[in-house]
């Protein structure tokens, strides 16, 4: 158990505990704020995996953007802050079967079937952003341009739904 | 069946400055909040828990219903934020990508510029009441 | 340069989108220009997809496939959307969403479908899926004042996002086990990979996400409400183009298992096919709203097509593609006729509004009768051969019981399709208010009717073409 393991368990604990509260809290504002810690914990895990660019994007887009959007949504909806979320459960049996199957596969294959090891080296980790940027423009350039069109659609769609009537 | 090997993650050995920094931030913040908690005075008066303890009386709840327009602006922010992420990824590798990369990004940005002008044109970026209209109405009033 | 020429249909539609945004910026009455511009873009894309049909291959490092059956799909999407646009010109004035963005969103949805059909990389599949779905979410609720439309849009976006989540989770597991997102590489290594339970789990999650998009039985709950609440023309596009695009991805997956006889998903597809056919056909009988009835019939048709996925041989792939081509034209035609009869504020959609239609407007009645005959699968229309090829492939794959279930539910479905015809022709109308039709709508319906008849009279030509590309 070295220092990295401790940091890993710290971030994992932050993620899991806050995710638990996101689901169980009855007040939607508390849910949203707990989501902040979930996103933050996941970003920490990305850093530990050496995925620095993804971690920065996680903080920038999810914490800085999407979470704000959720809070805006809460704020802009009349009297939602005091509303108790009604979470009725339907179709319990199929859901339990499905979740248990998926969880079983994941636990037995991923958790128990992987040789988890962390290698300690003296080589400084190189930033992944460079390689990512290069791939995005060379091998995946078509996806890059299509993402531009996808963002265009999202912008037009948002404006169409929320536009003022002519 | 072969076992999946975790893609080996390589950690640098000398990251103690980062850890030291992280610990310092946590300790400093802890001291600041903790000290004020210990040393601060406690009182329970009529206005202690109001938003402006020594200011004006609160006139109503802060849970007003805002215009959906604010949400639209927040959404635009997220989308252009994402666009910035992609452009940053390109910018970091700028030197190696050269002109082909430049053309790729120009197309990407061109598409999004077109839609930005479009948003401008249909008035999705106009905030609140129309200033020109108010000024015009004021002139007519005089 | 040859690469760019080979994906000309895609490039035409993509640049058409950007140009139509510019038109929207520059012009004050874009709602008059854009329908013609987008119809022209789609028409030229469909012409090029026929011309380039023999240039089979992959481009951009194996990201996209060109030519062959992919371009048959492109032809279906572009022509279908063009007919929908023709039908929309007069309809959306009545519907109350008379602005240019409607057409831009349709073009975008078509681009998404085309990417899904061409995609040979899981990232590409996902981008196409999202491009199509996001446009449909917006198009479903394009009229903000209608509560029905808002409900449809919200239901669709919530459930659709959930289904997309399944797809992404599946892609993550597939990438984790196969170490690649290239579909061709996954197919090449399919047999050893299929022993890995994690890979199968990923593929299963992927299939669940797409079963939602094709509106098959356990994932069908959104279909009736969304098709009923959306604009009629948009329901027509969602039920045909959206379904065909999702099937095109499933077919690529299926081509991995077809030769090796390792169809691990046969039980899954057999179950959803059986349930969708029976459920769709039986529930459709009790519907009085025509759009809702066609929604349930769309679930049933997803079931018939899934029979082909269950049998998993080359005949069944050809059968599904033929079926999709036939279904696209007959369903779009039916929805366009409904859109012309529909009154303001979602009125005149009930079965009772079709009583004695022949006396009020014989043109529309004849077209509707043709589409209902074709949908019920009676010869000599295209719908019959679609079902026939799929059932034959099931029998060849030793799934005779599935073909029998299909025949039984087809017989059940004949009742509710023919009921419309009986009401139109053999009942006297209570009032003699004439029903007006739009010229563009009739044109679109006539074109679809021509395709339905031609595919019905000469089914072999199209089927031989599809089969020749499969080999």
pLDDT digits (tens, 9 = 90+) for A88-122: 667 788 888 988 988 888 888 777 777 766 655 54
What pLDDT score does C43 carry?
A: 94
DSSP B14: -
Residue C260: predicted pLDDT: 55
What residues in C contact A146, CB-CB < 8 Å?
115, 124, 127, 131
Q: What's the confidence (pLDDT) of residue C336?
A: 93
Chain C residues touching residue B111 (CB < 8 angstroms): 18
Question: By residue range, what is the domain housing residue A141?
Answer: 126-166
- Report CB contact under 8 Å: C198, A149: no
Kindly tell me if the per-residue pLDDT of B6 is higher than 50: no
CB of C230 closer than 8 Å to CB of C139: yes
Which of C59, C61, C171 is the mutation pick for testing A, counting most A CBs within 10 A? Answer: C61
Instruction: Decide which of C437 and A57 is more confident.
Output: A57
Tell me if B51 is assigned to some domain: no
Say whether residue B108 is in contact with chain A using an 8 A CB cutoff.
yes
Closest by CA to C229, choosing from C294, C146, C338, is C146
Asked if the structure places residue A30 within a domain, the reply is: yes
* Chains contacting A (3 or more CB pairs within 8 Å): B, C
| CB proximity B38 to A under 8 Å | no
Residue A163's closest CA among C81, B63, C98, C85?
Answer: C98
Highest-pLDDT range among A2-16, C92-106, C186-200, C317-331: C317-331
Partners of chain B (3+ Cβ pairs below 8 A):
A, C
A105 domain-assigned: no
- Pick from C63, C137, C149 the residue to mutate for testing the A interface (most A CBs within 10 Å): C63
Contact C17 A147 (CB under 8 A): no
Q: C126 or C190: whose pLDDT is higher?
A: C126
* CB-CB under 8 Å, C195 with B1: yes
Cross-chain residue pair A144–B86, CB shorter than 8 Å: yes
Chain A residues with CB-CB distance to C63 below 8 A: 140, 142-143
| Residue at B40 is within a domain | no
Mean pLDDT calculated for residue range C425-439: 78
Give the span between the Cα atoms of B138 and B134, in whole angstroms: 6
Average pLDDT for residues A129-152, to the nearest whole number?
A: 88
Strand partners, C208: none
For B111, which of C18, C25, C195 is closest by C-beta distance?
A: C18
User: Could you tell me which chains touch chain C, where touching means 3 or more CB pairs under 8 A?
Assistant: A, B
Using CB atoms and an 8 Å cut-off, which of residues 229-288 of chain C contact chain A? none
Name the residue range of residue B88's domain: 67-141
Q: How far apart are CA C287 and CA C277, in angstroms?
A: 16
Q: What is the pLDDT of residue C312?
A: 79
What is the torsion angle, in degrees rounded to the nearest 10, for the CA atoms of residue A22, residue A26, residue A32 and residue A34? -40
pLDDT band for position C240 (cuts 50, 70, 90): very high
pLDDT at residue C5, rounded to an integer: 85
| CB–CB contact C24 B118 (8 Å) | yes
A60–B3 C-beta distance less than 8 A: no
How many angstroms separate the CA of residue A139 from the nearest CA in chain C?
Answer: 7
Q: Is residue A150 part of a domain?
A: yes
More confident site: C365 or C345: C365
Which residue does chain B place closest to A144, by CA atoms? B108
CB contact under 8 A, A155 and B92: no
Interface contact B74-A69, CB threshold 8 A: yes
Query: For residue B1, is pLDDT > 60?
Result: no
Chain A positions in Cβ-Cβ contact with residue B60 (cut-off 8 Å) = none
Tally of structural domains, chain A: 2
Interface probe with B: pick from A76, A116, A140, most Cβ of B within 10 Å: A76
pLDDT at A120: 57
* Percentage of residues in chain A having pLDDT higher than 70: 82
For the stretch C280-297, pLDDT in tens is: 999 999 988 999 999 999
Kindly state the average pLDDT of the residues A7-19.
91
**Binary contact (C111, A149; C-beta < 8 A):** yes
pLDDT at B4 exceeding the cut of 50: no
Query: Are the C-beta atoms of C169 and A98 separated by less than 8 Å?
Result: no
Average pLDDT, chain C: 88
Which of A134-143, B61-70, C151-160 is least confident?
B61-70
Tell me what pLDDT residue C258 has: 62
Contact between A152 and C201 using a beta-carbon 8 Å cutoff:
no
A104 domain-assigned: no
Q: Is A154 on the interface with C (CB under 8 A)?
A: yes
User: Would you say C66 and C226 are in contact if contact means Cβ atoms under 8 Å apart?
Assistant: no
Q: Chain A interface, mutation test: which of C15, C106, C114, C173, most A Cβ atoms within 10 Å? A: C173
Bond preceding residue A5 cis, omega within 30 of 0: no
The pLDDT score that the predictor gives to residue C279 is 92
pLDDT value of position A90: 74
Q: Is B69 on the interface with A (CB under 8 A)?
A: yes
Residue A109 lies in a domain: no
Q: Is residue A136 part of a domain?
A: yes
CA nearest neighbour of C238 among C254, C227, C251, C253? C227
C363-398 residue pLDDT tens = 888 999 999 999 998 878 888 988 999 999 889 888
Whether chain A has a CB inside 8 Å of the CB on B8: the answer is: yes
Given a contact cutoff of 8 angstroms between Cβ atoms, the answer to whether C239 and C295 are in contact is: yes
Percent of chain B with pLDDT over 70: 80
Question: In this complex, do B93 and A134 lie within 8 Å of one another by their Cβ atoms?
Answer: yes
pLDDT tops 90 at residue C126: yes
In chain C, residues with a C-beta closer than 8 Å to the C-beta of A156 are: 21, 101, 104-105, 108, 138
Neighbours of B69 (CB within 10 A): 16
The answer to whether residue C25 neighbours chain B at the CB level (below 8 Å) is yes
From the list C22, C176, C198, the residue facing B114 with the nearest CB is: C22
> If you average pLDDT over residues C413-434, what whole number do you get?
84
Please give the C-alpha separations between residue C138 and each of C127, C152, C162, in angstroms, as whole numbers: 17, 10, 17
Mean pLDDT of C14-30: 89
pLDDT at residue C86, rounded to an integer:
92
**What is the CA B59 to chain-centroid distance, rounded?**
29
Which of B12, B108, B109 to mutate against chain A (most A CBs within 10 Å)? B108
Same domain, A66 and A16: yes
Number of domains chain B contains? 1
Query: Distance between CA A11 and CA B110 in Å, rounded?
Result: 40
pLDDT bin (cut points 50, 70, 90) of residue C259 is low
Compare all CA atoms of chain A with the CA of C124 and give the residue at the minimum distance: A143
**CATH number of the domain where residue B135 is located:** 1.20.58.1610
State yes or no: pLDDT of C301 exceeds 80: yes
pLDDT at B70: 79
Q: Do A160 and C105 touch (CB under 8 A)?
A: yes
At what angle are helices C459-470 and C69-95 packed, to 10 degrees? 130
- Quote the CA–CA distance of C425 and C404 in Å, as a whole number: 32
Q: Which of C127, C140, C164 has the highest number of chain A CBs within 10 A, making it the mutation to test binding with A?
A: C127
According to the model, what pLDDT value does residue A123 have?
A: 47
Q: Collapse the DSSP code of B25 into the 3-class scheme (helix H, G, I; strand E, B; otherwise coil) and give the result.
A: helix
Chain C CB contacts of B110 under 8 Å are 18
Q: What count of Cα atoms within 13 Å lies in the side-chain half-sphere of residue C459? A: 21
Count of all residues that appear for chain C in the document:
471
Q: Of A65, A86, A107, which residue is a domain's last? A: A86
Residue C61 or residue C305, greater confidence: C305
Q: Average the pLDDT over A120-139 and give the result.
A: 73
Interface confidence, given as ipTM, is 0.88
Map residue C23 onto helix, strand or coil. helix
Q: What is the pLDDT of residue B3?
A: 42
- The answer to whether residues A143 and A82 belong to one domain is no
Distance from the Cα of C346 to chain A's closest Cα (Å) equals 20
> Does A115 sit within 8 Å of B78, measured CB to CB?
no
Q: Confidence class of residue C450 from pLDDT cuts 50, 70 and 90?
A: very high
pLDDT of residue B93: 85
Residue B64's pLDDT band (cuts 50, 70, 90) = low
Task: Give the residue ranges of DSSP H helices in B1-130.
Answer: 16-39, 68-92, 94-122
Q: For residue A37, give the CATH number of its domain.
A: 1.20.120.1200
pLDDT at A130 (0 to 100): 83
Instruction: Quote the pLDDT of residue A165.
Output: 59
| Cβ A147 vs Cβ B86: under 8 Å | yes
What is the Cα B130 distance to its own chain's centre?
Answer: 26
Provide, rounded to the nearest whole percent, the portion of chain C with pLDDT above 90.
Answer: 48
Interatomic CA distance for residues B16 and B81, integer angstroms: 32
């Amino acid at each position: 158990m070295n220092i990295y393991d401790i940091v890993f368990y710290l971030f994992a604990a932050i993620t899991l505990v806050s995710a638990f509260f996101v689901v169980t809290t009855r007040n939607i504002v508390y849910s949203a704020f707990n989501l902040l810690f979930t996103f933050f914990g996941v970003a920490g895990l990305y850093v530990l995996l050496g995925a620095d660019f993804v971690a920065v994007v996680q903080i920038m887009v999810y914490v800085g953007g999407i979470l704000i959007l959720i809070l805006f949504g809460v704020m802009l909806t009349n009297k939602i802050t005091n509303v108790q979320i009604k979470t009725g459960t339907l179709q319990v049996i199929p859901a339990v079967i499905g979740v248990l199957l998926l969880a079983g596969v994941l636990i037995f294959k991923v958790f128990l079937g992987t040789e988890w090891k962390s290698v300690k080296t003296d080589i400084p980790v190189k930033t992944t952003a460079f390689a990512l940027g290069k791939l995005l423009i060379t091998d995946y350039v078509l996806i890059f341009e299509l993402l531009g069109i996808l963002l265009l659609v999202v912008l037009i769609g948002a404006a169409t739904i929320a536009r003022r009537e002519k | 069946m072969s076992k999946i090997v975790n893609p080996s993650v390589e950690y640098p050995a000398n990251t103690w400055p980062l850890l030291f920094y992280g610990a310092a931030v946590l300790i400093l913040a802890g001291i600041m909040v903790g000290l004020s908690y210990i040393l601060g005075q406690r009182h329970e008066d009529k206005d202690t828990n109001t938003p402006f303890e020594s200011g004006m009386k609160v006139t109503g709840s802060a849970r007003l219903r805002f215009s959906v327009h604010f949400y639209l602006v927040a959404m635009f922010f997220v989308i252009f934020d994402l666009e910035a992420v992609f452009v940053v990824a390109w910018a970091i590798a700028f030197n190696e990508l050269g002109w082909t990369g430049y053309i790729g990004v120009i197309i990407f940005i061109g598409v999004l510029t077109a839609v930005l002008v479009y948003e401008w044109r249909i008035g999705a970026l106009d905030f609140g009441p129309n200033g020109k209209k108010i000024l015009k109405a004021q002139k007519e009033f005089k | 340069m040859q690469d760019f020429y080979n994906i000309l249909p895609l490039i035409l539609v993509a640049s058409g989108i950007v140009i139509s945004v510019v038109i929207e910026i520059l012009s004050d009455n874009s709602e008059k220009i854009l329908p013609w511009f987008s119809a022209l873009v789609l028409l030229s894309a469909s012409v090029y997809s026929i011309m380039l049909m023999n240039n089979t291959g992959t481009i951009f490092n194996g990201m996209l496939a060109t030519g062959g059956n992919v371009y048959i799909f492109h032809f279906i999407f572009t022509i279908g959307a063009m007919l929908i646009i023709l039908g929309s010109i007069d309809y959306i004035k009545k519907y109350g969403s008379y602005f240019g963005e409607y057409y831009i969103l349709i073009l975008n949805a078509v681009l998404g479908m085309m990417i899904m059909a061409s995609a040979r990389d899981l990232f590409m599949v996902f981008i196409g899926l999202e491009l199509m779905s996001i446009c449909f979410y917006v198009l479903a609720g394009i009229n903000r004042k209608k509560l029905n439309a808002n409900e449809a849009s919200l239901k669709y976006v919530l459930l659709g996002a959930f289904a997309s989540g399944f797809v992404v989770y599946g892609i993550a597991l597939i990438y984790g086990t196969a170490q690649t997102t290239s579909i061709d590489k996954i197919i090449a290594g399919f047999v050893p990979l299929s022993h890995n339970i994690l890979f199968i789990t990923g593929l299963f999650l992927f299939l669940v996400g797409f079963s939602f998009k094709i509106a098959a039985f356990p994932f069908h709950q959104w279909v009736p409400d969304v098709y009923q609440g959306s604009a009629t023309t948009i329901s027509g596009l969602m039920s045909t183009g959206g379904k065909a695009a999702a099937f095109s991805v499933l077919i690529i997956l299926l081509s991995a298992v077809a030769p090796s006889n390792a169809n691990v998903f046969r039980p899954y597809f057999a179950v959803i096919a059986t349930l969708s056919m029976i459920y769709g056909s039986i529930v459709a009988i009790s519907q009085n709203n025509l759009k809702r009835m066609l929604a349930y019939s769309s679930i049933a048709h997803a079931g018939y097509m899934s029979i082909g996925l269950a049998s998993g041989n080359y005949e069944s792939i050809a059968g599904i593609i033929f079926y999709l081509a036939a279904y696209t034209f007959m369903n779009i035609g039916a929805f366009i006729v409904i859109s012309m009869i529909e009154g303001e504020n979602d009125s005149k959609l009930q079965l009772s509004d079709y009583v004695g239609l022949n006396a009020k407007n014989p043109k529309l009645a004849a077209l509707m009768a043709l589409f209902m005959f074709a949908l019920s699968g009676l010869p000599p229309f295209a719908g019959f051969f679609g079902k026939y090829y799929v059932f034959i492939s099931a029998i060849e794959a030793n799934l005779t019981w599935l073909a029998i279930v299909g025949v039984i539910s087809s017989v059940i479905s004949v009742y509710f399709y023919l009921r419309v015809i009986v009401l139109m022709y053999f009942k006297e109308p209570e009032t003699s208010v004439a029903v007006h039709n739009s010229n563009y709508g009739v044109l679109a319906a006539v074109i679809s009717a021509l395709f339905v008849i031609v595919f019905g009279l000469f089914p072999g030509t199209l089927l031989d073409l599809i089969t020749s590309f499969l080999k």
